[in-house]
Amino acid sequence: MYFQLLGETRFWRGGQEIRIGPQQRRLLLAVLLLNANESVHRERLFELLWGDPLPRSATGSLQAHVSRLRSALGLGLGRGSAASCEVALRTVGAGYQITVPSEDVDVHRFEALVCRARSAGAATALALYGQALDLWCGPPLSDITNDRARLELCLPLEERRLDVLTDQIDLRIALGAWTGLIAELTALASRYPSRPRYAAQLMILLHRCGRTADALEAFRRARESMDREFGLDPPARLRWLETAILRNDSLVQDDRFVVDGRYWLAAVDRDGHRPRQGADKDFASRRA
């Protein structure tokens, strides 16, 4: 079996895609899969599937959806039944639990690849991050039109993807995998002004490419975006980076500055100052 949530909600069994049913049933499956191997209380399911006010038919409708979902998955397992395969959908207390191997759900496969990347060497980590990000086929649960539920369920997933993408870009910069990266970072910095690290990465890359004037222009755009969108100045670390580029600070050229994945946290304190000599001597030890 294989379940897709990173895109439309889809399900394959034996290499054949199986129709799950109406949207509310697909949302139910998504909630259970996001909480795979844990029980989800009925009240939580009521909240996500129907909201307030709760229709009087909600309890019966939920039971019917679960029953038909079991049939669609080819399970037919109820309370107290023994699992006949690795996937099971059971009633547990006042809720429901789907048991499924993590590699059979794209969200959990994504997390497993990211976990492996965190403890791998730089080149291997870059490849693993690429495999993880390739699992995304579009916005999560893109076929679900329940905007309230989608926002609650998918916003953490989107934030996680952006975190992983940021770490992958750190490695691409450090390892010289720069093809197409300036255009990609320009778009990311413009789209996500609340994530100034994209602007920082763009500034570093442009400076390393000998385009210092463009790097400083990227800072100016980031500053204007943050002021326009949030009424805020750039964070101290980003202001420090502008100064470092103006001074041609050697740290901006150091691969350790990006390869750790926390470069502007380790290299600059909260007030935008360089650490004392030797304070970051093991800066890249986890990626060496």
pLDDT in tens, 49-96: 998 888 989 999 999 999 999 998 887 544 444 444 688 999 999 999
Confidence (pLDDT) at 216:
98
> What CATH class has 106-287?
mainly alpha
pLDDT in tens, 149-185: 999 999 999 999 999 999 999 899 988 899 999 999 9
Q: CATH number of 2-101: 3.40.50.10490, 3.40.50.720, 2.40.480.10, 1.10.10.10?
A: 1.10.10.10
Low-confidence ranges of the chain (pLDDT < 70): 76-85, 256-288
Tell me if domain 2-101 and domain 106-287 are identical in fold: no
Confidence (pLDDT) at 257:
66
pTM of the complete model: 0.84
Q: Where are the domains of the chain?
A: 2-101, 106-287
| 125 Cβ contact list (under 8 Å, min separation 6) | 117, 118, 171, 287
